[in-house]
Amino acid sequence: MINFAFCYERDELLDFVKNEILKYFRQREVQIAVMCYHNAYELQRCIDCNCPDILFYDMEREDASMRSTVMNAKRANPKLISIITRGRDYSPPAEDILLEPIYVMPDKSRKHLWTCTALAYEAFLDDPDSFSYYVRPEYFHVPVNEIRYFASEGRRTHIVSANHRDTFYQKLDVVQTLLRQKDCQFLRIHKSYLVNASYISGYSRDYVTLTTGERLRISRYEYYKSLSSHMQDLKRTKPARRPQYSQW
């Protein structure tokens, strides 16, 4: 069971956010626990006995008490995921990095609520060895060491692994961000391709060749330079465990 907490001053806003999130998970047949608070003091009282896993709150103005309480929650639950609304004039301090992962909503519309909820839930489900994604009506988990590459078409992303091919709705930039939190090396070679370095057997200025024989196009010189640098680093740091890479 995942614990959600919502901390908003106004009852009508609190009810709106809570009801939208409950609706989101009812459609996916996922049960969650919900806690509602109006201020930092109420939230602080719950931390020791029932710290949330995913927390929605406002930072539309500088609020030292809320920031301190959220920091306490993060210490109590290092896996805490924050979803916040920030005002246009709000400048986040450097210590916000201690609260990551953080998802920022420009407003509390249904669209942004559901988008951030999906990202936070997928991050919560993830473990270091697998990639999680949603295709109605369920979430799937694929070991990252089995994934050869991701290919995108607009908002749709195809996942290709040794024994698995599927399509889900997510931008490739978001997929790349999620993978950075894992112990793996996925390299961007094209705006539409994200490739697992473990499956690269060779590369040139224009193409990457996988151990399966598949060829994927490199679209920009910047991608080629980054790829070449990463592959050379991998050869130097793990020579005994990685195949010999050749450049055509």
Cα 244 from chain centroid?
A: 32
State the residue for tokens 């001053």: 9
d(CA 85, CA 104): 6
pLDDT at 241 over 70: no
pLDDT at 239 over 90: no
Q: Nearest-CA neighbor of 66 among 89, 93, 106?
A: 93
pLDDT at 49: 82
pLDDT in tens, 92-140: 677 777 788 888 888 888 988 988 898 888 778 777 788 888 887 777 8
**Adjacent-strand bridge partners of 216:** 208
d(CA 124, CA 74): 14
d(CA 199, CA 187): 11
Assign 62 a pLDDT band (cuts: 50, 70, 90).
Answer: low
pLDDT at 182: 81
pLDDT in tens, 146-182: 999 999 998 899 999 988 899 998 889 989 988 887 8
pLDDT at 246 over 50: no
Assign 16 a pLDDT band (cuts: 50, 70, 90).
Answer: very high
pLDDT at 238: 61
